[in-house]
């Protein structure tokens, strides 16, 4: 289902939003992260999938592959570490702490009694646990009933203490807030709520690294990006990306389309009402990272004016998109994209199957579409079950593809 956001604007980036998130702050975050051992050096790849573009009827498809951002396997390696650093700098303003040294563990003894906590569907918790381990502080992660044991083990591997609840994601957020109040811990969440905006802002600002790399990479492509498909969730990733694009390109910003599971449609409902809203469905989705029931009010302040269309997809659409990316073809390399990572492609496929919807979104043979594959096989067993091949198997075929291409141009 697709709806047009009548509140979207093509005005220049407003000063009131720039005071919250800006290109300058995103670049500062990028600098701080550049020396952290938790992410790999350099930019993640921006692949052109020309065969898929031809098959779907668009001019070009670019895929930003965040699965190789770090050993964490997702874009969340960019948000939680920056939020943790900025939190510590605010709490110890007079100690002369160096942000990059902090993530390198230079002050581990100082923060051994400092505890951070967060609820998660998996990837944010893993990013926070890794950053806390680097900084030397304690990390507690609250998991809801639908988070797999496989994802739990991946978080615990970074030294986090795990708390399990029987409810959903939104109830895990409430439990994390309760535990923080009782124990004088600090919540490092990627979703905002009443009286809690600084840290979610910092998380979103960390995602500006992705946008900065896309701006640099797309400048070298054969045509500028016209459309960007972004995963929903609480809205943090989308806000971090569209705000950077909006400030950079102004009135020429790409058309933005948000995609989320039909049973976790909080952003879709927000677009209908004009205010941050709750999902209408069960929230449980195979797209675990997008199974969120409530829109982040802070993120919505950016999305309400900068996202042109909102849409929902079925779980089976996401699985099909995972399989399409994994398969590749003669001209397109195979890509490992997890359940949430492939949501953007699922949305594009759905629109291009319906000529009326494609026209509504302005998609045609002249369009250059940007997709962000936000995660790889972060739950390897789930990935293999859904795709029919392991992530390692897909990566082996990707290497063969790249080796063939390199030898061809040698």
So which residues are the catalytic ones? Answer: 76, 121
Query: Token digits for 273?
Result: 């009402």
Strand 60-65 versus strand 186-187 pairing type: unpaired
DSSP annotation of 301: H
What's the CA gap between 27 and 1, in Å, rounded? 36
DSSP secondary structure string for all residues of 172-237: HHHHHHHHHHHHT-EE--SS-BTTB-HHHHHHHHHTHHHHHHHHHHHTTSSS---EEEEE-TTSHH
Task: Report residue 167 CA to chain centroid gap.
Answer: 23
Beta carbons of 370 and 238 less than 8 angstroms apart:
no
Handedness of CA 379, 382, 386, 391 (dihedral sign): positive
Compute CA distances 303 → 48, 136, 189, 295, 364, whole Å.
Answer: 27, 35, 19, 11, 24
DSSP annotation of 77: G
Compute CA distances 366 → 176, 192, 196, 200, 354, whole Å.
Answer: 47, 38, 42, 36, 17
For the sheet containing 186-187, what is the strand order? 161-164, 138-143, 115-120, 186-187
Query: Token digits for 381?
Result: 């067993």
Cross-strand bridge partners of residue 256? 228
**Three-class SS of residue 3?**
strand
DSSP annotation of 14: P
What's the CA gap between 312 and 231, in Å, rounded? 10
Cross-strand bridge partners of residue 61? 369
Q: Provide the strand spans (E) within 50-172.
A: 60-65, 115-120, 138-143, 161-164
Query: Token digits for 187?
Result: 């919540």
Residue of 183, 244, 185 whose CA lies nearest to 29:
244
């Amino acid at each position: 289902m697709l709806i047009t956001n009548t509140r979207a604007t093509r005005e220049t980036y407003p000063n009131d939003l720039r005071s919250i998130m800006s290109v300058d702050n995103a670049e500062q975050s990028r600098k701080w992260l550049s020396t952290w051992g938790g992410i790999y050096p350099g930019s993640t790849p921006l692949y052109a999938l020309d065969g898929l573009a031809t098959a779907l009827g668009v001019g070009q498809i670019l895929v930003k592959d965040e699965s190789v951002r770090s050993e964490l396997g997702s874009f969340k390696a960019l948000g939680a570490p920056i939020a943790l650093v900025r939190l510590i700098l605010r709490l110890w303003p007079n100690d002369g702490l160096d942000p990059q040294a902090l993530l390198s563990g230079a002050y581990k003894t100082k923060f051994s009694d400092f505890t951070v906590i967060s609820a998660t569907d998996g990837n944010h918790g893993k990013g926070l646990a890794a950053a806390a381990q680097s900084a030397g502080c304690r990390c507690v992660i609250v998991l809801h009933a639908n988070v797999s044991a496989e994802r739990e083990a991946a978080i615990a591997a970074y030294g986090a203490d795990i708390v399990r609840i029987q409810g959903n994601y939104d109830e895990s957020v409430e439990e994390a807030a309760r535990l923080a109040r009782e124990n004088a811990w600090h919540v490092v969440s990627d979703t905002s709520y009443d009286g809690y905006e600084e840290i979610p802002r910092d998380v979103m600002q960390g995602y500006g690294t992705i946008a900065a790399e896309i701006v640099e990479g797309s400048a070298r492509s054969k045509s500028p990006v016209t459309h960007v498909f972004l995963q929903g969730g609480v809205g943090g990733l989308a806000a971090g990306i569209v705000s950077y694009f909006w400030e950079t390109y102004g009135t020429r910003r790409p058309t933005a389309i948000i995609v989320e599971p039909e049973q976790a449609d909080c952003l879709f409902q927000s677009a209908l009402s004009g205010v941050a809203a709750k999902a209408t469905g069960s929230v449980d989705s195979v797209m675990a990272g997008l199974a969120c029931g409530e829109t982040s009010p802070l993120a919505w302040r950016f999305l309400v004016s900068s996202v042109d269309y909102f849409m929902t997809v079925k779980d089976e659409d996401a699985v099909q998109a995972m399989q399409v990316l994994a398969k590749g073809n003669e001209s397109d390399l195979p890509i490992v994209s997890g359940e949430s990572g492939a949501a953007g492609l699922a949305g594009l496929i759905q629109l291009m199957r319906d000529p009326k919807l494609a026209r509504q979104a302005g998609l045609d043979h002249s369009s250059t579409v940007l997709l962000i594959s936000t995660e790889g096989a972060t739950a390897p067993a789930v990935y293999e079950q859904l795709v029919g091949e392991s992530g390692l198997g897909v990566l082996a075929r990707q290497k063969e593809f790249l080796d063939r291409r390199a030898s061809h141009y040698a």
